[in-house]
Amino acid sequence: MSRQPVAAADGLISFLRPQRRSKKAMQMGIKEAFDKAVDKTTDTIDNVKDAVSESGHRGAAKAEETKRAVEGDQMSVTEKAGSMFNQAKETVQAKVDETKQDVRKNT
């Protein structure tokens, strides 16, 4: 009698039988899933914070630009230079927040 059909049947039965995992392995699987969910939630919170911060910086930069446009000639050269510096600073800070979000999305 040939053992091949029996071996094939044993393979099928072992394939259909649910795999038994140790209690420790199951706990590790649950911990990994929980850690992954926590990481995703933390990333989402950080992305929202950075988006709010970015929009605040962009608004401040636009306000400096508008301030120069409205006051124009009434501003001294040093006031204009200070306003331009503040606009550049706010724009850079907005870009930093945007870059942090991009890095988080790509990792």
Ranges of the chain whose pLDDT falls below 50: 1
Q: What pLDDT shows up at residue 94?
A: 96
45-54: pLDDT as tens digits: 999 999 999 9
**Which residues, including other chains, have CB under 8 Å from residue 18's CB and lie 6 or more apart?**
none
Q: Tokens in use for 61? A: 């930069």
- Report domain extents, the chain: 23-105
**What pLDDT shows up at residue 107?**
78
Alpha helix stretches (DSSP H) within 1-107: 4-16, 23-71, 77-105
Is pTM, for the whole model, over 0.75?
A: no
* Whole-number pLDDT of residue 89: 97
Please give the pLDDT value at position 20.
Answer: 67
